[in-house]
Amino acid sequence: MGASNWGMIWTAVMPLAVILYYFFRKKYKDQQVSSTLFWQERMKEMQASPYLKKLQHHLLFYLQLAALLFCVLALIEPFSESETLAGNDFIFVVDTSATMLAGSPSHFVKHQQEMKNLAAQAGGKPVTIVTTGISPKVIIRNEQDLQKVEKAIDQLAVNYESAEIEQTILFADTLAVNDSTIIHIFTDSLERSVLINKTGQSYHVHGFTETLRNVSIRQFGLSKTESGTRGIVQVVNNSKETIPATIRLTSDSVEKRIDVELAASEELLVPFEDLPNKQLWQATVEVADNYSADNTMATYVAPPVDAVVIDSALHELIASGFRSLSLDVALSDSSQLQPDSGIPIVTNQRDVLEGPTPILLFGRNDEKSFEVVGQIETKAHPLFTYATLDEIYVSQLYPPLEGYETIATIDDHPFIQVSPKGDIVVLTDVQLTDWPLSPSFPLFLWSAMESLAGDAEFLGYFQPNEHRSVSLASKTGEWEIFRDGTYSHSYIEGSGPFVAPAEPGIYQVVGDDKEMTMIVQLSSQEKTLSAGSTYKMGQAEAMQDKVRFSFVPFLIGLILLLVVGEWEVYRRGITTR
């Protein structure tokens, strides 16, 4: 509390002058006359209240005196001071990774309250909020309105991505206006070594020192055996005490349980033997810990997709195209192809289509080709999601296979077909087309491998919010994502990369009459909790600044009210004379 302009204290003589005026003004003697006797009875009530009479008599004086005193106070400019954060503007870097859900209340909720407290202390200085992740996001930029800042903080949410905190700090550095910008980092733990070489800005790290109980499923895998399926769950106790737990495996109505006791910092492999031959399983650890996001993990039994066998009789460009996809390419003589190996085969041998192994047929060895002229026309199919065939020239085709679905034609002649079991048939030789010279050729090979070696009912494993190119095609061009029957969001073909949901779990991707399963799971680094600390680094001074709040606007309002009151008292006095 203080005053900015003590030099105006001399104006205090004005209320003193008013007081002296009232002391020395002319006094009048009351004289009764006959005309006033009539009103004496009416005045008894007022005379019975001498204090009220005195107040009414001197009210104008009191109002004038109060107005002058407030004028004097306004002229000396009184103010109050409160502490505010050091720095001229602030950047809040907010960790939104899954580990921020640890604790009760969670670390994230505690940080939200702490951010609100700091924003209130900012004293109207600009605040910028940046969230972590693979792609850091600016939530608000240089906002000075406290209500808008608090609203933005309330709307923050955990996105389960890996924090990528170093990358986010580098991004926040580019938003700093000057050396007076203070960067507040809200996370669970951050090593000092990350900031040790950063001298251009000032950093205040807000961490947590508490050590929490946590048991996580680090890995979960399934393998086929002669008697069924064998599962192994790797469970890790990330705590300093022994914790009992129950490991549960579920698939539809099937459930298996094993009780374990995990010593401090113990890693345990829990086997499950003779499981039914089901493709989708979920492992859950039932335990009393402080972090539940890493207590579940799902897996899907799918065929391998890392190798392909190519008929050596085919053109070398086909093998080169598959090698560009970083696949393990094996060349084999036509007579030594194994249609029951389970590894996808690329050949022109018609007879291998009868086997169980997925086949990509380029041309036919049992028919002669014929000339064609015309544009390629395609139907909606995952093979053409990224491989467009608009500018491809094909000089000759082979006769089509009966009972196969035609998904591409040239002059109404089948060009590409798909068998009932999923084999892909390209009815031309590589040397009869300029397709290998087009960028769409390796994209088509990649889509073909995804279709052949993958499971038509399984889209794949994703991390939270992962952006990925996937082979999706439907008549409507729209796919809806559900979790446990609840709608999550939609994906429109051609609108950009496919974006996985934020929350880990098992999802269904539905389009037209087709349904696929996808699994979203945490990264390994989001399954470990570590204690941190709160500290400051950089050029910021430890002391806090002070912000002044002036009382002058409040005093001016009071003076105006007093002036209005004076006028009303004077007006009433005039009318009653």
For 350, the token pair is: 């018609």
In tens, the pLDDT along 275-294 reads: 888 889 999 999 999 999 99
b/e 316-350 (16+ beta carbons within 10 angstroms → b): eebbebbeeeebebeebeeeebebeeebbbbbbbb
Residues 272 and 198 in one domain: no
- We report the CATH number of the domain holding residue 514 as 2.60.40.10
In the chain, the amino acid numbered 560 is L
Pairing of strands 215-225, 505-511: unpaired
- CA distance linking residue 463 with residue 162, whole number of Å: 9
- CA distance linking residue 7 with residue 9, whole number of Å: 6
Is 134 inside a domain boundary?
A: yes
Residues 275 and 311 in one domain: no
State the burial class of residue 206 (Cβ atoms within 10 Å of its Cβ: 0-12, 13-18, 19+). buried
Quick one: pLDDT band at residue 540, thresholds 50, 70, 90? very low
Is 363 inside a domain boundary?
A: yes
What letter would DSSP give residue 404? P
Average pLDDT over residues 381-404: 86
- Give helix 107-121 / helix 146-154 axis angle, nearest 10°: 170
Is 30 inside a domain boundary?
A: no
CB–CB of 201/173 below 8 Å?
A: yes
Share of the chain above pLDDT 90, in %: 38
CB–CB of 398/427 below 8 Å?
A: yes
Last residue of a domain, one of 432, 453, 474: 453
Residues 13 and 145 in one domain: no
Residues in Cβ contact with 221 at an 8 Å cutoff, skipping those fewer than 6 apart: 231, 232, 299
Is 155 inside a domain boundary?
A: yes
- Determine the pLDDT at residue 543: 41
Q: What is the number of structural domains in the chain? A: 5
In tens, the pLDDT along 209-248 reads: 888 999 999 989 887 777 778 899 999 998 889 999 999 9
Residues 345 and 400 in one domain: yes
Domain, as residue range, for 533: 86-210+528-543
Residues 315 and 443 in one domain: yes
- CA distance linking residue 248 with residue 237, whole number of Å: 16
In tens, the pLDDT along 158-183 reads: 999 888 899 999 999 999 888 788 99
Residues 317 and 412 in one domain: yes
For 156, the token pair is: 């923050």
Residues 318 and 434 in one domain: yes
Q: Which residue, among 147, 12, 124, 119, has the nearest Cα to 75 in the 3D structure? A: 12
Residues 323 and 426 in one domain: yes
- We report the CATH number of the domain holding residue 438 as 3.40.50.880
What letter would DSSP give residue 35? G
Is 48 inside a domain boundary?
A: yes
Residues 349 and 446 in one domain: yes
Residues 94 and 179 in one domain: yes
pLDDT > 70? residue 575? no
Last residue of a domain, one of 397, 423, 453: 453
Tell me which of 384-393, 530-539, 568-577 is least confident: 568-577
b/e 1-30 (16+ beta carbons within 10 angstroms → b): eeeeeeebeeeeeebeeeeeeeeeeeeeee
**Average pLDDT value for the chain:** 84
- Determine the pLDDT at residue 145: 92
Last residue of a domain, one of 390, 421, 453: 453
In tens, the pLDDT along 124-151 reads: 889 999 999 888 999 999 999 999 999 9
Is 318 inside a domain boundary?
A: yes
Residues 487 and 443 in one domain: no
3-class secondary structure, 488:
strand
- CA distance linking residue 408 with residue 419, whole number of Å: 13
Residues 439 and 321 in one domain: yes
Is 61 inside a domain boundary?
A: yes
